[in-house]
Structures are given as structure tokens and as C-alpha cells.
């Protein structure tokens, strides 16, 4: 057993996180090259990357699907997930973060913290994932490590602990000074590995100053380091490294490294930092779960009962693959496991170590592993798989609500059945895609996280399933909320058609709530028994599916059950659930309702001479500009804009700026829509 635990100590499960175009995939490719996993450097612009293997990823030059790879460095096994950077695929990042122990956040040395950098950082905060930061593209014109670190401190609010000093600037960037061990690492032209040497004379004073600042920053955060600093006015390399490890794993500090992944400079020190500072499965708390209302824990122990979380499902030409993070226990080919959500037994066909689109079969998987398994029929993303004799349900990854919808129909009527089956498979692989039938038109509606998300899904229908589809214009997903409530609405549900009847009497108050839905009972004297109160709440939740303004989901309200009555024979859970549903619908029709539309924060980067036109265009799209700053000869404009007004904006922006303008957007919630806004 000791050998197994020692094996877990050399495992690192980490993700690469960043804003789109910060260089995540290039960093991943250089890691695979440096570790000997690949023997040729993959390039995004050439379509030769290992992790961006999907045809759409190579055509578009962006990461769309999270891809897992394994490699080895300095006696450690690194399971690496390259995640998407585009906001439309944030759910892929969410599912990945749920199963990771650590992450590398990549930042552009020119742009610093960008909008999606901030979003993925907050996602990692929610999951408690320790991070180290890698400031990439130091070879670019305008690259500035200090400015990038300042943006990390100001916008993300961690304590950045910079452990490197660049050697050379912009095009002359050739290496780094390692401030922990006070040595220089230089990558000469044409060399794949660094040459170690003393700190250059011209940088020695600056390196000593920065090492002093690093010692002071660490001493402020780490009690043991503070003791040594007070005594010696400096920290030894061993004490500093140990303190950096503990601060990273506790989340109290973020180690910052730098380099240029494209030029293969800075990757080996990054790998050393991953091994030295990020946690192994043994260093993270035991995963918690429940079963039948009882809380349980599963420690990272190969001898413990088996427990794993499915975080990704992928349909391949050879069958269905389910990606698992194994939290405890051991599983072998042919073993039976229990799907705790579906409450059915599944049997493992094959266990595969994943290398993006290639797989290596292995005999077993143990606690700490990230593997793919074949043969599972019912497991979905978020399913818990466990030992049949020790059931547990682990918390699944969250799924964001879709904000954009399109109507989809098969181009040939004979393909209608195939289209329904293909859409169901897409939704199974990507839970952030929702397929439904419009009750009014009978059309099939596909909903997702943005225009690009839906474009990719439709293209996957064509490429992966051989289906040509007609697609309607994108429509945003509206919400409805209560602007002014009602009190004392009385609703009686009485039904008598021979035999046992139905009787339920409820009195409801409805009032606005800042967000979400809340149900309370103020019934006294047992006039409505507790089991019927729960039925009323369930009925009210049913009513939230369609609001009175346009059949949109309802949010932002509090419902209070204030009174009611029962019938000795005809009252039942079903009757009170029906009363709750119909009563709340009637109450909502009596309320002053407000239509809400999704809004996004837009960051537009344009040449300074194009700012006026861009501001006018944003105003015409009902945008509210929150700020504008100059950065490297360009202007960066931030604004909040209704999502409905952004359809086609990319083309418009390119036209206004002769192709030199770019923009990114991230959801920020909902806001009241104008009265003339179409709701369906």
C-alpha cells in the first residue's frame, strides 16, 4: 500500500486556463515536446497540434473541446487538460476544473488579464483549485512582465509571487533569471533546452533587489518563513521553495513565471514549478459525497472503495468513451461498477490512458488517475460511478443556462429521425446544449451559450453525422421576473368526476426577489399539513417554467403560502401540487411582470483612430460604456451590451476597423428589456 501511495504523490492533475489567444494550446504543445511525449512541435497556425485535433478546432484555430493528455517529467506523471478559452465553451472549463487538483493560468504579456482570464480565474476560485501563473509571449512588441503582474494583482486580487526576471526584452528575450536559486537559464537560438549559468553582471543588482522583494512578500504570508527572515534578513532557497509550495496549495499566493511558449523558452522551469508547487492527489482534501442523506468522504487511497466522477462523454467511431476522474479505489477491465445517479450496474469494457485523440489501453486505474473507459451505457457528464457495495453520489459540475437558441430542421424530411438522434447525442456529450420542441410551432429548438457554440454544434451535425440542416436566426433566451407582487391570492382546485375527487385550497403572496426563487410557508394551526406544503412548493416550481409575458422561464420572486384548507377525503399531494402550479400562474398574471434579457460585458480592442465610430456603434446597440484605456497604440473599450444586439457584431467591427478590431464578450446576467423587445 505504501508503494501505491508513493505513486500517487508523483501524480499531478492540472489544467491549462486562459483567455482565447493567450497561448494555452502552444504551452500544452511545448510541454508535450519538452517531456518527450511528442517529437515534433505542434503549431496552432499549421493545424498540427495534438490537443486541437478536431477538424473544427484546426480550421478555426481555437480550442473548442477540452482535451486530456499524459506526460512524464522528473519522475512525475502529469495528466494535463487543455481547456477552451472562448466564453461560449466555459462549461467545458467548468467540467474540467471540477476534477483537477491544480492549474496553470496563462496570460498574454502585452494584454495582461483579459475578460475570459478573469472568468476562468473565478471558476477556479469556486472549485478551490491552486494555480501558478505563466506570463506568455514575452518576445512580442510591447511585452511587459511588470504590467502583466500588476493587472493580475489589481483584477484578480491574489498575492503574485514573481520568481523570475526576464533576460532581454521583446524580440531580444532569450531567457530568465531564476530568483529562487539565483541562476540564469538561457535558450540560445536553435536549442530546445536551457543553458544554466550565473546571473549576468548587468542584471545582478536588479535580480538581488527582486529576490529581496520576493523574500519580503513570502515572509508576510508564511509564519515559518517570517521567523527565518527576521533572524537572517533573507530566506534560504530551501525555505523559500517550501514556503512557495505551501502558499500555492493553500491559495494564499500565486507563483508567477514567464516565457515565450512559441519560441520554446520558459517551458522547463514551468514544468519544474508544476512538480514543485502544485498538489498531488494526496495533498488535496478527501472528496465529499452523499448517499440517502448521509454525508461521506472518499480519500485518495487505492485500497478504499471505488469512487469516480464522469466529467466528459465522447462518441467516437469505435464506441462511446466516458472520461473519469478516479478519486478512490481501483478499477480493472471487466469490473462492475454502480452508477449512483441512474441506480444501475455498469461493466467496464476497456480502460484507456488518453493522449487527445489517441488512446493507450491499460489494465487498471487507481485513485488519482484521469482515464477514459469504454462500455458504459448510462453514465453522463456529472454521473458518479462507485463500488456497488459502497454507494456515494459526488457533487456534479454546474451547468450554465443557455442564452441563445436557433430552430433546427433536417433539410430532407427523411432525415428527421436521424436529426433527433444526432441532437440527443450532441446534448449527451455537451450538457450546456439543450434540445427542446417549441410547443407553439412544433419546431426543434437548439439552445447554447452563444453564436459560436451553436455554429460548432450545427457543423458537428454535418461533419460527424452527415446531416444537412436548415438553421433559423439566433434568438436570445429571455427571462421574466416580478416587478410588483400581489397578496392574498386565493386559488381552489376542485375536481369531481366520479370516485375519489381532488380538493386543494391555497392562499399565496408573491413578491419580488433580487434573484432566484424562494418558497416559504406562513400557515398556522396545521391548516395545510407539511406534506401538502411540500407539494405546493413543487407545483410552484413547475409554474416557473413559463411566465405570462411570453412563456419564458420566471426568476426573481418569493412565494409565501399564507393559508389554505383541506378536504378529509379528496385532498392529496397531487391536488395540492396542481393548486400550487395553477395558483402561481394566476398570481403571476395579476403581478406587474418585467421581461429580462441577457446582457454581456464586451471588451473591444481597436486602433485609436476608430474609437469614435466604435463608441457610436455600441450606443446604437443599446450599449453602456464603462471605460476606455489606451494600451500599446490601441484603445480598449469596455461596455455592457444586450446579447440580442451583438448578433453579427464581429463582421460589423471588422468592417469599421479594416479588419484591425477585435472583441470578446462574457455573460454578466440579465437586465430589464425594452417593452418593444420581441419575446419569442
Judged on CB neighbours under 10 Å (0-12, 13-18, 19+), 88 is buried
Which residue from 406, 349, 400, 342 is spatially nearest to 375, judged by alpha carbons? 349
End-to-end CA distance of the chain: 61
Paired strand residues for 105: 17, 133
Q: Which fold has domain 480-590?
A: Ribosomal Protein S5; domain 2 (3.30.230)
Q: What is the model's pLDDT at position 576?
A: 96
CA distance 194 to 181: 15
* pLDDT over threshold 70, residue 44: no
CA distance 428 to 567: 45
CATH code for the domain defined by 2-283: 3.40.50.300
CB contact at 8 A, 581 and 468: no
User: Which residues, 6 or more positions from 480, have their beta carbon under 8 angstroms from its beta carbon?
Assistant: 547, 548, 549, 550, 552, 553, 554, 555, 593, 594, 595, 596
CA distance 678 to 518: 28
Which residue from 244, 321, 284, 333 is spatially nearest to 99, judged by alpha carbons? 284
Burial annotation 105-119 (CB, 10 A radius, 16+ → b, else e): bbbbbbbbbbbbbbb
Continuous segment of H or E residues that includes residue 330: strand 330-332
CA distance 675 to 679: 10
| 258-272, 461-475, 614-628, range with the lowest pLDDT | 461-475
* pLDDT over threshold 80, residue 50: no
* pLDDT over threshold 80, residue 668: yes
Continuous segment of H or E residues that includes residue 131: strand 131-136
Model confidence at 42, pLDDT cuts 50, 70, 90, reads low
What is the average per-residue pLDDT within 365-369?
A: 90
Q: What is the model's pLDDT at position 280?
A: 92
* pLDDT over threshold 60, residue 48: no
Class of domain 596-672: alpha beta
Q: What is the DSSP string of 254-307?
A: EEEEE-BTTTTBSHHHHHHHHHHHSPPGGGSPPEEEEETTEEEEE-S-TTSPPE
Strands (E), 532-585: 557-565
C-alpha cell at 346: 455498469
Q: Which fold has domain 287-394?
A: Elongation Factor Tu (Ef-tu); domain 3 (2.40.30)
User: Which residues, 6 or more positions from 546, have their beta carbon under 8 angstroms from its beta carbon?
Assistant: 552, 553, 554
For domain 404-473, which CATH number applies: 3.30.70.870, 2.40.30.10, 3.40.50.150, 3.30.1150.10?
A: 3.30.70.870
Which residue from 94, 5, 34 is spatially nearest to 280, judged by alpha carbons? 5
Q: What is the model's pLDDT at position 462?
A: 84
* pLDDT over threshold 80, residue 638: yes
CA distance 33 to 270: 13
Q: For 107-118, how does the pLDDT look when each residue is reduced to its tens digit (9 = 90+)?
A: 999 989 887 788
Q: What is the model's pLDDT at position 463?
A: 81
Residues at the binding site are 18-25, 82-86, 136-139
The residues spanned by each domain of the chain are 2-283, 287-394, 404-473, 480-590, 596-672
Q: What is the model's pLDDT at position 490?
A: 94
CA distance 66 to 87: 13
Mean pLDDT of the chain: 87
Which residue from 41, 40, 44 is spatially nearest to 58, judged by alpha carbons? 44
CA angle, corner 485, sides to 480 and 489, nearest 5? 115
Same fold, 404-473 and 480-590: no
DSSP annotation of 441 reads: T
Residues at the binding site for GTP are 18-25, 82-86, 136-139
The model's pTM is 0.78
Amino acid at each position: 500500500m505504501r508503494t501505491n501511495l508513493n505513486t500517487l504523490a508523483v501524480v499531478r492533475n492540472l489544467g491549462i486556463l486562459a483567455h482565447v489567444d493567450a497561448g494555452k494550446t502552444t504551452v500544452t504543445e511545448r510541454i508535450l515536446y519538452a517531456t518527450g511525449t511528442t517529437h515534433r512541435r505542434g503549431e496552432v497556425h499549421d493545424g498540427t497540434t495534438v490537443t486541437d485535433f478536431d477538424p473544427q478546432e484546426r480550421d478555426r484555430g481555437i480550442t473548442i473541446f477540452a482535451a486530456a493528455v499524459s506526460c512524464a517529467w522528473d519522475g512525475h506523471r502529469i495528466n494535463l487538460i487543455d481547456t477552451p478559452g472562448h466564453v461560449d465553451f466555459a462549461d467545458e472549463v467548468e467540467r474540467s476544473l471540477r476534477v483537477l487538483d491544480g492549474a496553470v493560468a496563462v496570460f498574454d504579456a502585452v494584454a495582461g488579464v483579459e475578460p475570459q482570464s478573469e472568468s476562468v480565474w473565478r471558476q477556479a476560485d469556486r472549485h478551490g483549485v491552486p494555480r501558478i501563473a505563466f506570463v506568455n509571449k514575452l518576445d512580442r512588441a510591447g511585452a511587459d512582465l511588470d504590467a502583466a503582474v500588476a493587472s493580475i494583482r489589481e483584477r484578480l486580487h491574489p498575492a503574485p509571487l514573481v520568481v523570475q526576471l526576464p533576460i532581454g526584452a521583446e524580440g531580444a528575450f532569450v531567457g530568465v533569471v531564476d530568483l529562487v536559486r539565483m541562476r540564469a537559464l538561457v535558450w540560445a537560438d536553435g536549442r530546445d533546452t536551457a543553458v544554466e549559468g550565473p546571473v549576468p553582471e548587468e542584471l545582478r543588482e536588479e535580480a538581488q533587489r527582486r529576490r529581496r522583494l520576493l523574500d519580503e512578500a513570502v515572509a508576510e504570508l508564511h509564519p515559518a518563513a517570517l521567523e527565518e527572515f527576521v533572524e537572517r534578513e533573507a530566506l534560504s532557497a530551501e525555505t523559500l521553495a517550501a514556503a512557495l509550495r505551501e502558499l500555492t496549495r493553500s491559495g494564499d499566493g500565486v507563483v508567477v513565471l514567464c516565457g515565450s511558449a512559441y519560441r520554446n523558452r520558459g517551458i522547463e522551469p514551468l514544468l519544474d514549478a508544476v512538480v514543485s508547487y502544485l498538489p498531488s492527489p494526496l495533498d488535496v482534501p478527501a472528496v465529499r459525497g452523499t448517499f440517502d442523506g448521509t454525508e461521506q468522504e472518499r480519500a485518495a487511497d487505492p485500497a478504499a472503495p471505488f469512487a469516480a466522477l464522469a466529467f466528459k462523454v465522447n462518441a467516437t467511431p469505435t464506441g462511446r468513451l466516458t472520461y473519469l476522474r478516479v478519486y478512490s479505489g481501483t478499477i480493472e477491465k471487466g469490473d462492475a461498477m454502480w452508477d449512483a445517479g441512474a441506480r444501475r450496474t455498469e461493466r467496464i469494457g476497456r480502460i484507456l490512458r488518453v493522449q487527445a485523440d489517441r488512446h493507450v489501453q491499460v489494465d487498471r486505474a487507481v485513485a488519482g488517475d484521469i482515464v477514459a473507459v469504454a462500455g458504459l451505457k448510462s453514465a453522463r457528464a456529472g454521473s458518479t460511478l462507485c463500488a456497488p457495495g459502497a454507494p456515494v453520489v459526488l457533487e456534479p459540475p454546474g451547468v450554465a443556462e443557455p442564452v441563445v437558441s436557433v430552430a433546427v430542421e433536417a433539410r430532407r424530411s427523411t432525415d428527421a429521425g436521424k436529426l433527433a438522434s444526432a441532437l440527443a447525442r450532441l446534448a449527451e456529450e455537451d450538457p450546456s446544449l439543450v434540445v427542446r420542441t417549441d410547443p407553439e410551432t412544433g419546431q426543434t429548438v437548439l439552445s447554447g451559450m452563444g453564436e459560436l457554440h451553436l455554429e460548432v454544434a450545427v457543423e458537428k451535425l454535418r461533419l460527424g453525422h452527415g446531416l444537412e440542416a436548415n438553421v433559423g436566426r439566433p434568438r436570445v433566451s429571455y427571462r421574466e421576473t416580478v416587478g410588483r407582487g400581489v397578496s392574498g391570492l386565493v386559488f381552489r382546485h376542485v375536481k369531481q368526476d366520479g370516485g375519489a375527487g381532488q380538493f386543494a385550497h391555497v392562499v399565496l403572496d408573491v413578491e419580488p426577489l433580487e434573484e432566484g426563487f424562494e418558497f416559504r410557508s406562513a400557515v398556522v394551526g396545521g391548516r395545510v399539513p407539511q406534506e401538502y406544503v411540500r407539494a405546493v412548493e413543487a407545483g410552484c416550481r413547475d409554474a416557473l417554467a413559463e411566465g405570462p409575458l411570453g412563456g419564458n422561464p420566471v426568476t426573481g420572486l418569493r412565494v409565501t403560502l399564507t393559508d389554505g384548507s383541506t378536504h378529509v377525503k379528496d385532498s392529496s399531494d397531487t391536488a395540492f401540487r396542481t393548486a400550487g402550479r395553477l395558483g402561481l400562474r394566476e398570481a403571476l398574471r395579476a403581478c406587474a411582470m418585467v421581461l429580462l434579457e441577457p446582457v454581456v460585458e464586451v471588451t473591444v480592442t481597436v486602433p485609436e483612430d476608430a474609437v469614435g465610430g466604435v463608441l457610436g456603434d455600441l450606443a446604437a446597440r443599446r450599449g453602456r460604456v464603462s471605460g476606455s484605456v489606451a494600451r500599446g497604440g490601441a484603445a480598449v473599450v469596455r461596455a455592457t451590451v444586450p446579447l440580442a444586439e451583438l448578433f453579427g457584431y464581429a463582421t460589423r467591427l471588422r468592417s469599421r476597423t479594416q479588419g484591425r478590431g477585435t472583441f470578446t464578450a462574457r455573460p454578466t446576467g440579465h437586465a430589464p428589456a425594452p417593452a418593444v423587445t420581441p419575446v419569442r
